[in-house]
Structure 1
Amino acid sequence: MLGFSVYLDKDLTADDHNYLLGMRNAGFNEVFTSLTGLNDEADVILKRLNQLTGWCKDLELKIIADVSQDDLHRLGYDLDDVEKLKTLNVTGLRINDQVLMRFVSKLSKSMWVSLNAIYLQPEDITHLKEEAANFDHIRALFDFYSQPETGMADDWFEEKNRWLRKCNLETAAFIAGDRVKRGSFFAGKTTLESQRGIYPLAAALNLKKLSCSNVIVGDRLTSETIKTFARYTKDYAITLHLDKKVPFLEENEWHNYLYVARDIVRLHNEDELPKFEAQDLPLDRLVGTVTVNSSENLNSGEIRIAKRDLPASQKVRILGKVDDSECSLLSNIEPGQKIVFKNLEK
């Protein structure tokens, strides 16, 4: 499941609605918002939430609201009053502080509940079972960390993820966006420190490799990155932007070979390809360098993308280079996966 964030610290605008629509069309199906840390009066916050939930209902988007028990009290709600909580019109609540499992069990019978993953311990799972909680409606959601150097370590995150999955809980985590960053540090809302500054689609794919089944974008995405997600969700295609326009690459359909090579992404095409002469002056192939094998090469016409810095070759011609920000995608390209080349318009 792919989610994205819309916050309630200001009045919502037509731009917010258009963003919801664009993300929905790109294959995102869940909205994350927060009722914590807001300085406005309760009626203002609830009015904004009501507008957002209305839009989400019209667009058939789920909406999860991040809450603490104190913030709920300030808004006039209590975790023990499920019927009143339903009037918030959210799909579910993400409870970001420690809470009695009897509350969670009761809520899970009426709505989705996301629990703060870092607090969950074996005794909590035991209590949920004793309270006959609906595990199909409970998820463990990791925090995001806006301040540099405070994000989680990959190995700790993966270990916690695997344990939670063994407990029959879905998990979710945050990746940073590549548009305007929020917060006082403007460093991106990411769960993993290693993913700070990483291209969003690459970060999302990396989370899946670490046993995390749900991804939420903590900041906004640029329009071009939204298109990249759309191609992935609809066609299972990885989009790579080049530093120059190469019609030969943009106009043909490419697929990775049915295995993953260590040093390169090795692409083939079903059509007959033109012949290419080797580079007059061979150059080193830095990460992201796109080459075509020359007519003297055994696999002439084959497209290759360097996944690491490689030495110069006398049997290839360099066609261009993948934008540096997207090179993190190369290690996530799967066997047989479709590749789309686009010119990087600056």
Structure 2
Amino acid sequence: MIGFSCYLSEPADEQQTAYLKQMQQAGFTGVFTSLQLPEDDPKTLRQRLNHLITSCHQLGLAVVADISLASLKRLGIAPRDCSGIEALQLDGVRIDDGIDMTTVAALSHTMGVALNASTLSAKTIDQLANAKANLRHIEAWHNFYPRPETGLDPCWFQQKNHWLHTLGFKTMAFIPGDAQQRGPLFAGLPTLESHRGLLPLAAYLDLKRLATDHVYIGDPQLSPRSIAAFQAYTSDQVLLIQTETADERLYHLTWHNRPDVAQQVVRLAEARLEHIFAAPEPHHTGERPRGSITLDNTRYGRYAGELQITRCDLPADPKVNVIGHVAPAALPLLDHIGPHQALRFKQ
């Protein structure tokens, strides 16, 4: 599942409804929100939650909310009142401070339950089993980390995911947005520190590579460009590669990496197979920093017309013309271009 966040600190309005629909059309299937907003009036919070759930369910979006002992009390729900929690009409709850495993076990029979992946232990699992929890409805969700420098280490994260998978739990983690960011720090809401400030789609692909089952956008909003990138990837498995400068002919086709993956370059199969570029004369044969889009010229003999993207910095070669550059923000996507991967260049 791929999801996004919609927080109740903002009023429900037409703009929110339009964003929900836009994200659903882009392939997103889940929404995360939080009931832990102590500054908000409980009545207003409940109204906004009801509106969000209704709007999401009309679009087929599942809603999971962060709950704690304090947030339940503010809504007038007793800590062990499972029927009161179920009455919220949520599809799932992410458990935070103060809610015991007996309540978690009871909730697991009527809705999805997410526990903190970082602190989930063998002892906790034994407690759930003894309370006869439905473990098939329980998942392990990692936190997001608002403060810079505090996000998780990817090696530890992957090891934790592997351990959780051996126990049968699915995992979830957050990636940052690239439009409106959530306060008070406004520094992104990633699970991994290495994803802070990273292109959202690149962060998503990183998490999938690290055996993460579900990925949610932690921040309140994605940019239109990122929404389009996710839609292209979720619907057609196409990577949209933003460029700074490039030959106009690049923008009219969907390209594919060759099945035999090169270490230093992405070799785009269509260029030579379909003779898209006539063998060019040497021109702009300068250095090829990572993300250079290049075309082999007549000096390369039978390779003339081969189109490539450099994965690393390469020196100038009089047999290779540089015809464009990938935008700096899009460079991390180059690490995710595997065999047969489709891509389109965007201005």
The TM tier, using the shorter chain, reads: over 0.9
Quote how far apart the aligned CAs of 1:244 are.
Answer: 2.8
* C-alpha contact 1:276 1:317 (8 A) present in aligned 2: no
Quote how far apart the aligned CAs of 1:278 are.
Answer: 4.4
* C-alpha contact 1:6 1:32 (8 A) present in aligned 2: yes
In structure 1, the residue matched to 2:130 is 130
Please list the CA deviations of residues 129-176 of structure 1 after superposition, one character each: whole Å capped at 9, or x if unmatched. 233322221111111111111111111111111111111111001100
| Aligned positions of 1:11-26 closer than 5 A | 11-26=11-26
In structure 1, the residue matched to 2:239 is 238
2:158 is equivalent to residue 154 of structure 1: no
Please list the CA deviations of residues 294-337 of structure 1 after superposition, one character each: whole Å capped at 9, or x if unmatched. 23323232221111111111112212111100101100112101
- TM-score if structure 1 supplies the norm length? 0.95
Residues 51 and 342 (structure 1), Cα distance of their counterparts in 2 relative to 1, 3 Å cut:
same
Quote how far apart the aligned CAs of 1:23 are.
Answer: 0.6
* C-alpha contact 2:280 2:305 (8 A) present in aligned 1: no
* C-alpha contact 1:275 1:294 (8 A) present in aligned 2: no
* Coordinate RMSD, CA, aligned: 1.4
In structure 2, the residue matched to 1:229 is 230
Quote how far apart the aligned CAs of 1:80 are.
Answer: 2.2
Q: Which 4+ runs in 1 deviate beyond 3 A?
A: 278-281
Quote how far apart the aligned CAs of 1:79 are.
Answer: 4.4
Tell me the distance in 2 between the aligned counterparts of 1:329 and 1:291.
17
Task: Give secondary structure in 1 for the equivalent of 2:299.
Answer: coil
| Aligned positions of 1:155-174 closer than 5 A | 155-174=155-174
| Aligned positions of 1:180-259 closer than 5 A | 180-219=180-219, 220-244=221-245, 246-259=247-260
* C-alpha contact 1:63 1:91 (8 A) present in aligned 2: yes
| Aligned positions of 1:24-173 closer than 5 A | 24-97=24-97, 99-173=99-173
Task: Give secondary structure in 2 for the equivalent of 1:244.
Answer: strand
Q: Which amino acid aligns with 1:57?
A: H
Task: Give secondary structure in 2 for the equivalent of 1:150.
Answer: coil
Q: Which amino acid aligns with 2:228?
A: K
2:305 is equivalent to residue 312 of structure 1: no
Quote how far apart the aligned CAs of 1:38 are.
Answer: 3.5
Q: Which amino acid aligns with 1:311?
A: P
Quote how far apart the aligned CAs of 1:39 are.
Answer: 0.9
In structure 1, the residue matched to 2:345 is 341
* C-alpha contact 2:82 2:103 (8 A) present in aligned 1: no
Q: Which runs of 5+ in 1 are unaligned?
A: none
Q: Which runs of 5+ in 2 are unaligned?
A: none
Task: Give secondary structure in 2 for the equivalent of 1:88.
Answer: coil
Task: Give secondary structure in 2 for the equivalent of 1:243.
Answer: strand
Tell me the distance in 2 between the aligned counterparts of 1:38 and 1:268.
56
Quote how far apart the aligned CAs of 1:10 are.
Answer: 2.4
- TM-score if structure 2 supplies the norm length? 0.95
Aligned length: 343
